[in-house]
Amino acid sequence: MVRRIGGSRRKSRTRFTRHYRQKGKTSMTSFFQTLNVGDKVVFMADSSHHGSLYHAPFHGRAGAVDGMQGQCYKVKFKDGNKEKMLLVHPVHLRKM
């Protein structure tokens, strides 16, 4: 058997890095932003906050907010023909 090399963050170095103008502390407005059910959002990772981060293939995808679970939001989106749901912290979401 061949073992898989790497984990969930493999080859995601450039994808999850921040732009040089946004480096530094996370802004409080993005950390505590409130979203309503049905809002369209885009998955954009904030590399300074590691909690509730999605897998790298979903970076840049768009979806709709379906609800809240704790401090995170349930976001539904289509992956091919399948509808998927992820729990993502609001710091990793950008409103469209």
Question: What would the pLDDT profile of 51-91 be if each residue is shown by its tens digit?
Answer: 888 898 999 999 999 999 999 999 999 999 999 999 999 99
**pLDDT given at position 90:** 94
Query: What are the C-alpha distances in Å from 35 to residues 73, 74, 91, 93?
Result: 8, 11, 11, 10
Alpha carbon separation from 64 to 2, 30, 68 (Å, rounded)? 38, 17, 12
Assess if residue 42 is contained within a domain: yes
Q: Is residue 4 part of a domain?
A: no
The pLDDT assigned to 8 comes to 81
Give the pLDDT confidence score for residue 14 in this predicted structure. 84
What residue numbers bound the domain in which 37 lies? 28-95
Q: What integer pLDDT is reported at residue 81 of this predicted model?
A: 95
- As for how many domains the chain has, the answer is 1
> Looking at residue 63, what is its pLDDT?
97
Separation between Cα atoms, residue 67 and residue 87, nearest integer Å? 10
Give pLDDT tens digits for 1-51.
889 888 888 888 888 888 888 888 888 888 899 999 999 999 999 888 888
The CATH number for 51's domain is: 2.30.30.70
Provide the pLDDT for residue 1: 82
13: in domain:
no
Is residue 64 one of the residues assigned to a domain?
Answer: yes
6 in a structural domain: no
Q: What angle do CA 16, 78, 62 make, to 5 degrees?
A: 45
